[in-house]
Amino acid sequence: MLHYRILSYGSDYDWEYMVDLISLRDAGEIERQFVRRLSDMSRDDAFADDASAALMKDIDRAERTGEYAVITPKGKGCITCLSNAVRFGLMVIDAAKNGKPVITKPYAADIAVLEWLARAGEHTLVLTDNECDKSLKEVLTLVNNGEADLEYQGQTYSAYSIRDCIDALLPLIEKNEGTAEEDTL
């Protein structure tokens, strides 16, 4: 299941929570963080776990064949040639192993990867209140489908409380309407 948590830069408590989060907020950050993490891993352990292999296969139809090598429908390549959506998912899986959430934007990841992550375990994605606008639609869809829950201002919402969730988020969405840019993968 995915666990979304909306935090505020204006809150001292939330600000402390945001320190040391892995930032996967856009395609450039996803690529930088992926390469940085890859360089910290041993060659044999670079996203070689079962969950990472399943994600690569299910989303990019890729298989890890060597230290940093993958084979895709397009042929052999380096693990860095995987789609940004898969790299996002791999980073979320890796962060969850260390008990860390990642900070992202509502539209930074492909919905197929989010749905896959929701089925594959417990993963926490942090959003900031100043970037939540109508793009929360995918997040709310995942909550409504029972694939995610969402925590905002100390209250956790699930599919059973989706109306309350929308009511709580509506002022935030209206306040930020038109201020966030779309940067989908």
Residue ranges of E strands in the chain: 2-7, 22-24, 63-64, 69-72, 75-78, 102-104, 123-128, 148-152, 155-157
Pairing of strands 75-78, 69-72: antiparallel
Q: Are 110 and 52 in contact (CB under 8 A)?
A: no
Q: Who's near 2: CB < 8 A, 6+ residues apart?
A: 114, 117, 118, 123, 124, 125, 142, 147, 148, 149
Q: Is the pLDDT of residue 65 over 90?
A: no
More confident residue, 177 or 126: 126
What residues does each domain of the chain span?
2-176
Instruction: Name the pLDDT band for 107 (thresholds 50, 70, 90).
Output: confident
Q: Who's near 20: CB < 8 A, 6+ residues apart?
A: 100
pLDDT at residue 181, rounded to an integer: 46
Q: Is the pLDDT of residue 18 over 90?
A: no
Distance CA 60, CA 99 (A): 26
Q: Is the pLDDT of residue 76 over 70?
A: yes
Q: Are 117 and 89 in contact (CB under 8 A)?
A: yes
Distance CA 2, CA 108 (A): 15
pLDDT at residue 185, rounded to an integer: 44
Q: Is the pLDDT of residue 138 over 80?
A: yes
What single letter denotes the amino acid at residue 66? G
- The string of pLDDT tens digits covering residues 40-55 is 988 777 788 999 999 9
